[in-house]
Structure formats: structure tokens, C-alpha cells
Amino acid sequence: MAGVGSAAPLFRLEALDGKSYSLAELAQHSPVALVFFKVTCPVCQFTLPFLERIAASSSLRVVAISQDDAKATRAFHERFGVSILTLLDTAASGYEVSNKYGISSVPSLFLVDSSLTVALAGSGFSKADLEELGRRAGMPPFRPGESVPAYKPG
């Protein structure tokens, strides 16, 4: 898996909206959190709504990368209230970007800074990682009194 301090693997992927985005474009003005997911993954279903909260900040961009097709991904977004920019890295492409990042399980999360260096990397649901992203974004992912586990493997 791409590690902290390493150069983030560059890519260009199509989004659900039909536009194409590169990592360099996404990280040009602020750090970008990339979360790789599959629609059938229960831990992804648990994690993405918290990332949606962090995405409300303008100081950190959150981008989801779905390993499923557009139809399944749109249904996932509707069901779980996800509206963040979502790119598609599907079986048809051989999961090219997921392979570049060394993804072995989902969700996998990477924070890429504006110099295109990996500043945070993790897999599964990690309360500490989400709290760190929230701190950097100035937007807490968890509400007072919300009970969340420290970790859930993907």
C-alpha cells in the first residue's frame, strides 16, 4: 500500500458526472483525501457518511474512488446520502488506480498533500484517521455522544 511520505501515484479517472479528473488537478489548491470503496462493503457503508461530514469543509477535499460501475455507485450514494465527488476505478479498467495504490482491502484512505505526497494512509474504519482528517479540515467527523468504534477492518 502506498505509504506515508511516498509520492502519491498519479492518475486520471472519470467521475459519476462524466468529467475526467487527475490527482494533480484535485490536489492543486488543497490537500485531498482519497477513499477507495466498494458498494457492497459494510465497513465502506459505515465510513463514507462520516467522510461526507468532513467534506463540508473547504480546506480539505474528499474524493471517493468507487471500484463499482456508475449505476451501482449512484445507488450507493442515494442509499447512504453520499454527495462527494466520486471517481470510477472499475473492473473494466483492471482496477488500475487501486493497483497503483496497492489496495488490498476497502475502505482504504489516503491523504495527499499539494506536493502530491501521501501524508496519511490507512485501511478499514479508523476513528483516529477520521479524527485527524477532521482536525486538518476543521470539521469534526463525529457528533457529541455518537458511539463509534476505534477500528473496524475492511
CATH number of the domain encompassing residue 46: 3.40.30.10
Predicted local distance difference test score (pLDDT) of residue 98: 98
Does 66 reside within a domain? yes
pTM above 0.85, yes or no: yes
| Domain extent at residue 88 | 1-7+32-115
What average pLDDT does the segment 93-116 reach? 97
List of residues 6+ apart from 138 with CB closer than 8 A = 57, 59
Predicted local distance difference test score (pLDDT) of residue 58: 83
Whole-angstrom Cα distance, residue 76 to residue 139? Answer: 24
Instruction: State pLDDT tens for residues 31-59.
Output: 999 999 999 999 999 999 999 999 998 88
Whole-angstrom Cα distance, residue 90 to residue 78? Answer: 19
Predicted local distance difference test score (pLDDT) of residue 133: 96
Does 104 reside within a domain? yes
Total number of domains in the chain: 1
Whole-angstrom Cα distance, residue 37 to residue 73? Answer: 10
Does 149 reside within a domain? no
